[in-house]
Amino acid sequence: MKLTDFKALSFDCYGTLIDWETGILTALHPLVRRAGVGSDNDATLAEFAAHESAQQAATPDMPYAELLSRVHARLASAWGVADDPAENERFGASVGDWPAFPDTVAALGALQKRYRLVILSNVDRRSFQATQHRLGVPFDAIYTAQDIGSYKPDPRNFAYLIERLAEDGFQKSDFLHVAQSLFHDHAPANAVGLASAWIDRRHDATGWGATVPPPPGVHYDFRFNSLAELAQSVL
C-alpha cells in the first residue's frame, strides 16, 4: 500500500487541520480562571474530553455549537462554580476562532493537486463555515455530524462517508482517512475496513489531550507527525 495508490483523502478537521486544543484552552480560560482549577492544561483537556464524549453520546443529533455550550456548563458544575449562560454560549461559538496548525494551509494546497479532498467532521455546518477561511482550500465535499445525525466514532458517520463517495464513483479502496484522533477516527475506520493515516499532532506530548483514550487494538496504515510530512511524502 502506497500513498499514491489513493484518489481521495477524507480529513478529520478539529485536531488534525485545526489546532483545537489551543482553541479550546483559550476559550476555556475565563472559566478556568473563575474556577481556580490551576494551569494543568493536560488535565483541563482530559476533563473536556470526558464531558464532550459523554454529551455526544447523550445527544447525538445536537448541533456542535450547542453541544459545546452544554459541555461548558458541565465543566462549570464539575469545578464547583456558578453556571454562566452567556459564557457557555461564547464557548459554543468559539470554533471559528480556533487556529489552523502552521502547516495546514500549505499542505492542503499541495495535496489538492493530487487528491480529491473531503471533510468528515464532528461539527455543525455553521461552525465549519466559520472555520473554512482558515484552511485555505475549497473542499470537494464536506460531511458534518449535523448532516449525519451522529458523532464519530459512531459507525454511521463512516458509512455515510463511504456511501457519499460511492455515489461519486469512488470505491472504499480509493480513499484514505487522515486524522489525529485514534478514538474518534482510526478505531471506526478500522471497523469498516478503511485505510487511515495518523497525523500524530501530540507526538511530543503525553496523554490523549482533548480526546478520550482509544480502544485496544486500534491501528493505522501510515503515521506522520504533521500534515506537512504527509504532503512531502507524495510530492
Residues noted as catalytic = 12
Q: At what angle do helices 104-112 and 125-135 cross, to 10 degrees?
A: 90
Give the span between the Cα atoms of 175 and 7, in whole angstroms. Answer: 6
Give the span between the Cα atoms of 184 and 144, in whole angstroms. Answer: 13
Give the span between the Cα atoms of 95 and 103, in whole angstroms. Answer: 19
> Element (H or E) spanning 142, and its range?
strand 141-144
Backbone angles phi, psi at 223, to 5 degrees: -140, 135
CA distances from 191 to 37, 135, 176, 220 (A): 38, 29, 14, 11
Q: What is the DSSP letter of 214?
A: P
Tell me which residue of 63, 51, 60, 43 sits closest to 153, measured CA to CA: 60
Number of Cβ within 10 Å of residue 102's Cβ equals 12
Sheet containing 116-121, strands listed edge to edge, beginning at the edge strand earlier in sequence: 141-144, 116-121, 8-11, 175-179, 196-199, 222-224
